[in-house]
Every structure is written in structure tokens, then in C-alpha cells.
Structure 1
Amino acid sequence: MLNNSHLAQLTRPSGAFAMLAIDQREALRNMIAAHRGTPVTDEQVRAFKLQAARTLTPFSSAVLIDKQFALDEAIDQGAVSPGCALIAAADRFESAHGELVGRTHIDPAVDPAGYAARGVRALKLLVIFRPDENPEPRVSMVETFIRQCRNAGLISIIEPLSRRPLNGAGVDLDAGIIQTAAELGSLGADLYKSEVPHHGLASEGEVRNACARLTELISSPWVVLSSGVPEPLFPKAVQWACAEGASGFLAGRAVWASCLGSPDIAHSLSTDAVDRLKRLCEIVDETVVA
């Protein structure tokens, strides 16, 4: 793992992480289409990402962008605020098992050294965890990813997601969140991005107890993502997680997803989304112990 001075590239002055995710791909296309009722082009997806970057990165400590749609354009156009660190998504998604993102791989098109030279400070890898699959391939992928980041002088961020088993057994996604942390949380990644236990829908005690367990299992700082958490509940979920050892958030949907239904998305981003992001920044500044 890198030392805290390296990780400080991604944090606010308080030492907390307040990072924006706009690396969603086909999921974002589907979210936009749900409000338009018509097919959504690559250019429309890209335009939203770049608008979100321009509007929201002045209030973010870092932003996560994907190469498939907008990473190169964001760099070339200077869409990211100078005070916001850039994280590149280094994962390639595949549909499988009836899921939009059923498998992931390290994307060979994302050159760590090349993007480090262009100002990228960190790479992120999404990892699918299924309790009935052989853990060796995902562990090996994470170790390879960490090594590639280290060789390029980049911060490594892993994002494990708990998914249903393929053998038809019962689904316990919350147990999977804990099992994933036990398996991958001490492999050497510099930062761990976790789902919120219970998606923030359980009692405060249940969510906080699970977050405390994550802190025990993860050897690096860790942050929460917002997928699966209802937007109104995410600020409280962040507060609970940080009270039990999390160091902030790397989130997108809870910040900007509801803007997609607005008749004026740009205005909604600059008002509603900015307000939500500012509130989340206040929470982590108040709660995270640096």
C-alpha cells in the first residue's frame, strides 16, 4: 500500500474522501433511457458524463471516469476541476448470468503508465464476488491489478460487489459483503470501495455493526458506494459507516441519478446535485477520523 501522503491526493483537507463516480456505462445508458423512452446514443451518455464532471468536480476530492465513454475526452477538454484528482476505471464489464455486469476483467486498453503521464492519480477495479465460485481467479486479478498500479506509481482502488451464487442456493448479499472483505481486504490495495451493508435499509445498529466488521477485515482505508441505497438514506448511511471506521465515499447515483429525470439536467446538476454533494462533504468532514 502507498503511504498516507499519496492517498492525500484523493482526500479533502480534512483527510476524508469525498469522491464522485461517473464511470457507470450501460447502466447509465439504461437510466437515461428510462426517462426518455427512446434509445440513448453513446454521445448522449458521454455528454452527461462531461457535464457532470464540469459541474460537480469543483466540490469533489476526486472523480472516477471510464475510458469507454469519457476519460480521454475529460482529460482533453479539461472537464475536471484542477483541485479534483482523476481516477480511471481500469475494468472491462461483460454481461453474463442475466446481469448487465456479470463478469469483469482488467481492461488492457487502460495503460497505467500512459494515464499516469496524463495526470491520472489512481485506478479502480470492480470485482464480482460469488460465494460458489473459485476465489483464485479474482484474487489473482486483484493482485495483478495492484502490482500494475504500484509499478506505475498509481493508487490502487478495488470495488468488490457481492452477487448471487450461480448454483441456485439462497442469496445473502450482506454476508457476501463481509466475506468479500475477508477475502480481498488485505491483499494490498491502497483503498477499498465497499457496498453499504444492508443497503442502508436496516437499523442503525445493524448497519453500524456490519461496518465495524468491515473495518476489522480491511487493512487499508475504505469508503462506501451508493448503488442500491435509496438516495434519501445515503447521507445517513455514510455517517454510520464513517462513525465505524470508513473514510468517506466514492459515489455517483446518490448524487446525480435523480437529475436524469429533470427537464433541465444541467440546471438540476448545478443545484440539486451540488447541494447533495456539499452535504455529503460536510458529513465526512465531521465524522471521519483522519
Structure 2
Amino acid sequence: MAAMTTAERRGYQQICDASGSMMVIACDQRGGMRTLLAATPEEQAKIGNNILGETKADIARYLASHAGCVLVDPICAVPDLVDNDILPRHTALLIGIDASGWEISPEGYRISKIVDGINARRVRELGGTGGKIMVYLRMDHEAANAKNLATLKETIEDFAREDLLLVVEFLTYQVEGESREEYEAKIPMLIREGTRACLELGSKVLKIPYPGSEAACAEVTRIAGDVPWAVLSAGVDHQTFLGQVEAAMKNGASGVIAGRSLWKDCISLDRKVSQDKLSTTAVSRLRDIQALIKRYRHSQSAAA
């Protein structure tokens, strides 16, 4: 496994809470956030990057200030979060370099994209504590992964040259002709083998979907070894996510990078509504997650 450098480890410490657990608020979505703010494609198209930036600023102000780190995109959120003094001094900043959406290969596979002009050096220039890349993987379809793994390899090497922390995320997806039941049965294997592929390329911190069960979480931990991994929320409802966080933390996860499950029903084009819901409902959900992390992180420390 690839060990963190001193600089990378310092960046990792900064995205963690006092117990050493990751608790990152994710709001790097663009297209997905537009679908939450407006019902139709026509209305969504009218939502400019400035409006998304204001929404992300509110999420950072009301949630990330309690969590210790925020994950944002380089299109709508920075440098304003820094230059406008929105991000508290003690709040770390991860910048997602993956572009919104994906391209489709001739075979129907998802091809991940990187935001034009964004690399490790630019992340540093924007004040980032580190970066985050997301790639799509289907480890049971070799042809689906070659380009995405090449992109991931290049990005890992770029951040290594800059000696800057990089969080690696991968997502899986249904392929054409596959039923929902067939896909869901494969999720533990897809997460396990996706984890293995990312580690083989030198990933040092992972952000991954819930592997499907406690046993699958334990298997991910076994494969990852000393490499910390955080479970993402994937927009499931709060109670479902709490169960996933508990299963992950009980079985070796190092924390949470949570987005839509916290704030998806708390944001609005009316900023007053957003601010009221973020400061009450979303913060309450965050406290629930933090309590679970604290409970099981302490258990892990005691066992060690």
C-alpha cells in the first residue's frame, strides 16, 4: 500500500475531526444540485453557477463549520468561499476536480471527465487542503475501466508531484441490459474490486459507496489495510444512511463524506428557506452522524 508523505498526512489530519475520523460535507455536485432546486429541465437550465455558488456557501456556512471540512467544486464555489471569508479558519477545503456528468463510450460505458484547467497545482492555488477525483468503475467489464483508470493514474501521479493530498472516489452503475436485481447482487464484488483497483494505482485515501453489508465493509477494510476509507451517502434518506454509517464504522471505516443525505431537502432557491433548514434539520442530521462516528471510533481506539 502507498504510504502518505508528511505533507499528505498533514492534509489528511486537517480533513479529520479531533478523534482522527473523516467528517466531510460534500457539496461538489452541479447537475444533481440543479435537479434538487428546480423540477423541470427548463427551470434547471436557468440556475446559473452564481446561484449554485450561493447555495454551496450556505451549506459551508451552516454545516461545514461544524464538521471540519467541506468538499466543493472548482466551478461555482472557489475561490469565493475563501476570498469572501465564508470558510472558517479551522475548516479544511477539498476541491473536486471531476467534471459534472459523464461521456458514453461506443460500448455504452461511462467515461469520467476532469474539469478543464484543474490539476493539483490549481487546487493548491485555490487554497485547497487537497483534491478529490471521482471515476466510474465496473470491475466485471474490463473494457469499461481502461480510460477511467488511466485518468486516475495520471491524477494520482500529478498530485504526488505536487505532494498534495488526493481523495479517490469511485462509483459503480448499471450497464445496459442489466436488471436492478442483477446489479444490486453484484455491488459487494464491484466495491471490493474497485477498491482493489484504486489501491493498486496508489490511492492513499478512499471515498466509496456503501459496500452492502457489515461483512462487505470488513472485507473492504481488510483489502485497504492502512489506507483510510470513508463511506459516501449517495443521497439515501437520513435513517438509511445512519445504518450504513454504523455498519461501516463498526467494521473499520475511517469516517464519512456526506452530501445529499444531509442537505438534499434543505436547499431552496429561497436562501432564507435554505438557511433556516440547513441550520436546524441538516445540523441535527450531522450531529446524529457525528455521534455514531464518535462511538465507533472510540471503540476502534480501545480495541487497538
TM-score exceeds 0.5: yes
> Equivalent of 2:273, from 264, 268, 276?
264
Does 2:31 align with 1:22?
no
Question: Quick one: which of 132, 143, 149 aligns to 2:141?
Answer: 132
Aligned equivalent of 1:233? 240
Pairing partner for 1:194 from 202, 205, 208: 208
Task: State how many pairs are aligned.
Answer: 280
Is it true that 1:208 corresponds to 2:228 in the alignment?
Answer: no
1-side partners of 2:171 and 2:264: how far apart? 20
How many angstroms does 1:82 deviate by? 1.3
Whether the 8 Å CA contact 2:26–2:72 is kept in 1: the answer is: yes
Cα deviation per residue 1:226-268 (whole Å; 9 max; x = unaligned)?
Answer: 0153222212211110110100001111111121369811100
2:70 and 2:286 map into 1 onto residues whose CA distance is 12
User: Given the alignment, which residue of 115, 119, 122 partners 1:107?
Assistant: 115
Which residue pairs with 2:73 in the alignment? 66
Alignment partner of 1:185 is 2:199? yes
Q: After alignment, is 82-91 or 279-288 more displaced?
A: 279-288
State yes or no: 1:175 paired with 2:171: no
With the length of structure 2 as denominator, give the TM-score of the two structures: 0.83
Displacement of 1:137 after TM fit?
2.4
Aligned to 2:127: 119
* Residues 83-92 or 38-47, more deviating: 38-47
Cα distance in 1, alignment partners of residues 62 and 251 from structure 2: 31
Percent of pairs with identical residues = 24
User: Which residue does 2:283 correspond to in 1?
Assistant: 274
After the TM superposition, which residues 160-171 of structure 1 pair with which residues of structure 2 at under 5 Å, given as runs?
160-166=170-176, 170-171=182-183
- Determine helix, strand or coil for the equivalent of 1:264: helix
Partner amino acid for 1:147?
E
Distance 1:6-1:96 versus aligned 2 partners, 3 A rule: closer
Question: Which consecutive segments of 4 or more residues in structure 1 shift more than 6 A?
Answer: none
Q: Distance in 1 between matches of 2:296 and 2:42?
A: 41
1:145 and 2:155 correspond = yes
Aligned counterparts of 2:97 and 2:122: Cα–Cα separation in 1: 12
- Are 1:33 and 2:38 an aligned pair? yes
Query: How far 1:140 sits from its partner (Å)?
Result: 2.2
Q: Give the 5 Å matches for 1:213-228.
A: 213-219=219-225, 220-228=227-235
Report the Cα distance in structure 2 between the residues aligned to 1:151 and 1:234, rounded to whole angstroms: 36
Moved more, 218-227 or 185-194: 185-194
Amino acid at match of 2:85: G
- 2:4 matched to which residue of 1? 2
Distance 1:115 1:228, change over 3 A: closer
Q: TM-score, normalised on structure 1?
A: 0.87
Task: Tell which deviates more after alignment, 114-123 or 19-28.
Answer: 114-123
Q: 1-side partners of 2:146 and 2:104: how far apart?
A: 20
The whole-number CA distance in structure 2 between the counterparts of 1:213 and 1:81 is 37
**Structure 2, gaps ≥5 residues long:** none
TM-superposition CA deviations, 1:11-42 (whole Å, max 9, x none): 11101111100001101101111399944411
Offset, 1:168 = 5.0
